[in-house]
Copies of this chain bind each other. A is one copy, B any other.
Amino acid sequence: MIQIVVLGSAAGGGFPQWNSNAPGCRRARAHDPAALPRTQASLAISADGRNWFLLNASPDLRAQINATPELHPNGTLRSSPIQGVLLTGGEVDTITGLLTLRERQPLGLYATRPTLDLLDANPIFEVLNREVVTRNTLTLNHPIPLPLTDGQTSGLTATAFAVPGKAPLYAENAANPTAQGEDGETIGLDITDGTHHLLYIPGCAIMTDALIARAHQADALFFDATLWHDAEMIEAGLGQKTGRRMGHMSVSGPGGVLDTFKTHRTPRKILIHINNSNPILLADSPESAQVEAAGWQVAEDGLRLTL
């Protein structure tokens, strides 16, 4: 069994975003039921319903924990059901929540070498005391069991796999900012209990045959839905970057997420990491209807499923 709680479903900045006065964000602030607010993307997963691992630590993590009874302490005076955190990259919206997990609480931290290097290059993350928060290197395509902090087995195994992406904005190589490699700066995660497979891919710049093949084996696929179409931010007057420049492929259009997976029989296909400009955040939009017709679900904070 794999239990999943969607802690957050929005892309960086959340919905609404602090400095966006666009119509969608205005609707979210006005408590429009068709424009549900969303915190930044993260999942909590568990094999036993008692011990949990986080997939990414978003800047909203403290509020996400408060909103999720499964993650409240239920043991000693200082304790937490959170046993570890797995990171898919080093962006602000995937690592900032680590700063909430301070106070010398034992945890396992799992990331690829480039992401661990980014953390090491920022002394502020030393608040996660290395004596109790172990740093564990994820190697691409190498399954590792996820132990509980007491050394017992959690029943879950994680495999990191390459996803085309780019370095975080704050660590971009000025000479080649749009380099999109598969060197572990951005990864996807394949989580299994030995029977079921959860795929978590919150950021993907370009589809690859390997990703398409892997998705065929998944019981649940959470996939990057940052932008509906590539020039969306520019056309809305919200920014100067295409999705491609930001390291995210589009949901719609030829070669987009819906098109790519249209023949996949994956039981649960869920769009996540949704930017505040993406019309699928509005439940009454034609794009939301199109997503549903294609067999996809739009992630919402608090969504729970069990594989």
Closest to A236 in B: B77
Chain B CB within 8 A of A285 CB: no
Tell me, in angstroms, the Cα distance from A21 to B103 when the chains sit together: 13
A183-221 CB mask vs B (1 if < 8 Å, else 0) is 000000000000000000000000000000000000000
Whether A180 sits at the interface, judged by CB under 8 Å, is no
Cα–Cα, bound, A95→B123 (Å):
13
Say yes or no: A78 contacts B21, CB within 8 Å.
yes
Instruction: Say yes or no: A59-B16 contact (C-beta < 8 A), given A74-B21, A77-B21, A127-B170.
Output: no
Is B92 touching A170 in the complex (CB atoms < 8 A)? no
**A170/B123 in contact, CB under 8 A:** yes
Contact between B59 and A99, CB atoms less than 8 A apart: yes
Cross-chain contact A63 with B60 (CB below 8 angstroms):
yes
- The stretch that binds B, out of A65-73, A136-144, A258-266, A292-300, is A65-73
Among B19, B82, B96, contact of A78 (Cβ-Cβ < 8 Å) = B19
- Is A102 close to B, CB under 8 A? yes
- Expressed in whole angstroms, the minimum distance between the Cβ of A168 and any Cβ of chain B is 8
Complex CA–CA separation, A1 to B121 (angstroms):
44
Which residues of the other chain, B, contact A169 by a CB distance below 8 angstroms? 127
Query: For A102, what are the chain B residues with a Cβ–Cβ distance below 8 Å?
Result: 12-13, 92
Which residue of chain B has the shortest Cβ distance to A122 in the bound complex? B122
Provide the A77-104 mask, 1 if CB < 8 A to any CB of B, else 0: 1111010000000001001100111110
> Within the oligomer, what is the number of copies of this chain?
2
Give the contacting residue for A21; candidates B71, B79, B95, B101; CB below 8 A. B79
A18 touches B236 (CB 8 A): no
Contact between B66 and A16, CB atoms less than 8 A apart: yes
A103 touches B17 (CB 8 A): yes
A25 CB → nearest B CB, Å: 8
Q: Does A254 lie at the interface of the complex (its beta carbon under 8 Å from any beta carbon of B)? A: no
- List chain B residues, Cβ under 8 A from A17: 103
Chain B CB within 8 A of A126 CB: yes
Contact B122 A124 (CB under 8 A): yes
Cβ-closest 6 pairs across A and B: A21-B73, A19-B80, A126-B170, A122-B122, A19-B105, A127-B170
Task: A59-B96, A124-B170 are known; give 4 further A-B pairs, CB within 8 A.
Answer: A18-B82, A19-B78, A96-B96, A127-B170
